[in-house]
Chains A and B, each alone.
Chain A
Amino acid sequence: MSYSILIVDDSSVIRSMVRKSIDMAGLQVGQVHEAANGLEALEVLAHQWIDIVFADLNMPCMGGVELVEKMAGDDLLVSIPVVIVSAEQNPVVIEALKKRGIRAYLKKPFRPEGFRSVVLAVLGDSGAKPS
């Protein structure tokens, strides 16, 4: 099974880094969609089947916290796992996000191997390409 992924970050550099990390992690990926903020992400989620969302916190228009809240309040989106990829390191903020339903938190800067372990923890071994 291949996964459809949505990367949400206002930085095109980070979106590219996440894409490359996905490639290097050996994950089974179908389509990769990108959005520059939470509003754009909701637009993508309204029209595309997405299996996992990687989202930054600090973005213009709509940040990651509001995106998570909007998804949590939507019957169709609530089950999509969200992995926060952010430079935010405040444990209070991270704990609050986990209570809001995020599945994992990945601190920037991240390494491809750290990225892989987080994704496999969320998707299970079915996310990995057969060796």
Chain B
Amino acid sequence: MNDPIRAQLAEIAQEILEDAAFVFAEPAEVEPPGDGAIFVSRIHVAGQGSGSVLLAVEPAVAREIAANLLALDPADPEAAAKSADAVGEVLNMISGALSVRCSPPGLPMRFSTPVTEVLDGASVRLIDLESRGSMLTTDLGARIWTAMLPGPVSASLEPRA
């Protein structure tokens, strides 16, 4: 997983967030995660290389994504309940687009299903998103991180057949 793919990932994430979830974000230098909860979704990738695609968002963004995907008011409790699933689905869409743009001919990337967790800031800081990924900030100032991580991050993330 090299830097051009990381750059493509951030660009695709920006496009999908806007197109699918009406979340408008721009590349930004943002502070590392604080101590608050972060929604972290990961998809294992197999193909030319092996690794994981990651999308991490602050809870406000997760809720906004769920609300917009489901045409709900962000204050609707269902938007909060579906936040993790919605973040995973956005990452799934990002991975599909990444596959088309970055797979070498005849060697398509294969993806696992997304696994989304709510992690505390300390756990997210261990992933070292600053050096491995790209950062975006929404028009409301909430933070989004994308990253390509080498190797599987979790035994539960098996590539699909």
Contact = CB atoms under 8 A, between A and B. Distances in A.
Q: Do A and B bind each other?
A: yes
Interface residues of A, number: 22
- The interface centre, meaning the residue of B19, B82, B96, B103 with most chain A CB atoms within 10 A of its CB, is B96
Contacts, number: 58
A12 B85 contact: yes
A20 B69 CA distance: 10
B113 A10 contact: yes
A20 B103 CA distance: 33
- The interface centre, meaning the residue of A14, A17, A60, A87 with most chain B CB atoms within 10 A of its CB, is A87
Interface string A81-92: 000001111101
Contacts of A14: 89
Interface in A1-55: 10-14, 16-17, 20
Contacts of A20: 70-71
Interface string B93-104: 101110110010
A124 to B, nearest CB: 28
Chain B interface size range: 20 to 34
Contact of A108 (B82, B93, B99, B111): B93
A63 interface: yes
A109 interface: yes
Chain A facing B: main interface SS: loop
Contacts of B71: 20
Contacts of B93: 87, 108-109
B160 A90 contact: no
Given A13-B69, A13-B70, A20-B70, A89 B16 contact: no
Contact of B96 (A12, A59, A60, A89): A89
A13 B100 contact: no
Contacts of A12: 82, 85
B103 A58 contact: no
Nearest to B78: A16
Given A90-B100, A90-B103, A58 B108 contact: no
Contact of A58 (B19, B20, B100, B113): B113
B19 A87 contact: no
A13 B91 CA distance: 13
A45 B96 CA distance: 28
A87 B71 CA distance: 20
Given A13-B69, A108-B20, A88 B96 contact: yes
A93 B96 CA distance: 12
B61 to A, nearest CB: 15
B88 interface: yes
Interface string A47-76: 000000000001110010000000000000
3 closest cross-chain pairs (CB), A and B:
A87-B96, A109-B20, A89-B100
Interface of A: 10-14, 16-17, 20, 58-60, 63, 86-90, 92-93, 107-109
